[in-house]
Chain A
Amino acid sequence: MDGQQTFWQAAWIARFALLNGLLATIELSLLSIAIGTIIGSLGGIALQYGAWPLRALLRIYVDTLRGIPVLVLILASYYGLSLAKIQISAFTAGVVALGGFCGAHVSETVRGALGSIPIGQTEAAKAIGLRPFQRLWYVIVPQALRRMVGPWVNTAVEMVKGSSLLAIIGVVELLLATKQVIARTSIVIPFYLVACLAYLLLNFAIAQAGALLERRFSYIKA
C-alpha cells in the first residue's frame, strides 16, 4: 500500500495547485457562459425578428462557429488576435473563443425556442394592444424560457468541458494543473480520476441548477 500512501501525500502537497486549477476552470466557464448567454439572447432575438441583412450576418456567424472545432477557434483566437496587435493573455483569448462559440449555440437555442411559440400567442398579444417589445417580454419570452433551459444547460456543460481545451494554449486550468502534478509525481491514474470527478461534480451541479430552473419556469403547462 506504499503507492496509496504516496498518492495521498502527493495530493496533499498538490492541493493548492489543483484547487487553483479548479477555480480557473470555474472562472473560465462562468465567463464564457455569461458572454455566450448575452450574445446568444440578443443574437437569437435578432435571428428570429431582425431585418434580413442582420439575419444573414448572424446566420453566417452561427453556422461558421458551429462548424469549426472549438480547438481550432481557440488556436485561431490565441494566435490571430495577438497578430492584430491586440495584446491579450491566453486566458482572455480562450474566453473570447469559448464565449463566441457559446454565443453561437445559445443564439440557435433562443431562436428555436422563440420560433416554437405558436403564432396565435403573438396574435392574441397584438389583439389586446401590446407593443412589440411588450409582446416579446410579457408573452413570448416567459413561454420560450422554459424551452430554452434544457439546451442551455447542455451548452453550459459543454463549456465546462470545453474550458479544458485551453490547457493546449497553456492556461493553467484544472486539466493542465492535473497534468503538471502528474508530471511532477508520475502518479497518473489517480490524479486523472480526481480531475474526472471534479468535472463530474461541476457538471452535476449545473444539471441540478438547470432542473431547478426548469421547475421554476414550468408553471406554464404546454
Chain B
Amino acid sequence: MVYYFNFDPVWRGFGKLLDGLALGLEMAVVSLLAGTLIGIVCAHARLSSSALVRRAVWSYVEFIRNSPILLLIFFVYFGLPEVGIYSLDKYQSFVLTLSIYAGAYLTEVFRVGLVSVPVRYVEAAKAIGLRPFQRQIYVVFPVLFRIVLPSLSNNLISLFKDTSLATAIAVPELTFEAREINTYTFRVIETWLVASGLYLATCYAIAFALRLVERRYAVIR
C-alpha cells in the first residue's frame, strides 16, 4: 500500500491547533490551582476529628475517583441547567468539572503529604509559640509543598491530557481542532500525527520545567 503524505492542510490549520493547545494548558493550570485549594481544604477535613466530616470528604473523593471524567463532564454540563443554574458557559462548566476532579485526586496527595510532615517540626513550632494558623503557614506548608511537588507535576500533566475530553462538549481545544481538520480534509494520519506530537512535546516540556522547579526547591538532606 502506498500512502502519500500531505501535511499542507494540517500546517494551514496549525495556528488553530496551537490556539487549542494554549486553551488546554490554560484550563489545566486553572483546574490545578482550584484543585489545589480544594485538595488542601479537604485534606485537612480528611484528618479532622469529626467522623462525619471525614466520612463526607471520603465519599467525595471515592465518588469522583471512581467515575469516568467524561460522565462527570456531561453531568455538570447538562445537569446544572436542570437544577436552574444557567450561568456557566461550556468553558466554565468544563473547568469546574476538571477542578472538582483534580480536587479529589489532590485531596489524597495532600493528605499523604500532611501525614508525612515530621511531627517534630510542628512541636518545635509550638515550642517557639506559634499559633495553629501560623504553624500551618510558616512551618507545615513549606515542607508540605516540597513533598507534594512531584505529585502536583504529575497531576498537571494528566489534567492537561484530560482537557482533550472538553472536545465532547465542543470546547475548541487541541483535540477538537484536530478533529475539525480531520473531518474537513481527510488527512487522517497527518492530523493525528501532528496532534499527538503536540501533546507529547507539551507533556515532556511540562515535565522538564517542573523537574527544574523541583530541583530548585529540593530539600537538602
Using CB atoms and an 8 Å cutoff, list the residues of chain A in contact with chain B: 64, 67-72, 75-76, 79-80, 83-85, 157, 160-165, 167-168, 175, 178-179, 182, 188-189, 192, 195-196, 199-200, 203-204
Contacts and interface: CB of A to CB of B under 8 A. Distances in A.
Q: How large is the interface on B (under 10, 10 to 19, 20 to 34, 35 or more residues)?
A: 20 to 34
A84 B164 contact: no
Given A85-B1, A168-B168, A200-B66, A69 B199 contact: yes
Contacts, number: 98
Nearest to B207: A67
Contacts of B167: 71, 168
A92 to B, nearest CB: 17
Q: What 7 pairs across the A-B complex have the smallest Cβ distances?
A: A164-B68, A69-B164, A76-B192, A161-B68, A203-B66, A69-B161, A67-B203
Interface in B13-30: none
Chain B interface SS verdict (over half): helix
Nearest to A79: B188
A163 B69 CA distance: 11
Contacts of B175: 69, 71-72, 75
Contacts of A162: 68
15 contacts: A69-B161, A71-B165, A71-B167, A72-B164, A75-B178, A79-B188, A80-B188, A165-B68, A167-B168, A178-B71, A179-B74, A189-B82, A189-B83, A200-B62, A200-B63
A204 B66 contact: yes
A88 to B, nearest CB: 14
A80 B194 CA distance: 13
A79 B191 CA distance: 10
Given A71-B164, A80-B188, A85-B1, A175 B79 contact: no
A68 B200 contact: yes
Given A72-B192, A79-B192, A188-B82, A196 B165 contact: no
B138 interface: no
Given A67-B203, A167-B168, 4 more contacts: A79-B188, A80-B192, A189-B82, A192-B75
A76 B197 CA distance: 12
Interface string B79-100: 1001100000000000000000
A167 B162 CA distance: 15
Nearest to B165: A71
A164 B1 contact: no
Contacts of B66: 157, 161, 199-200, 203-204
B67 interface: yes
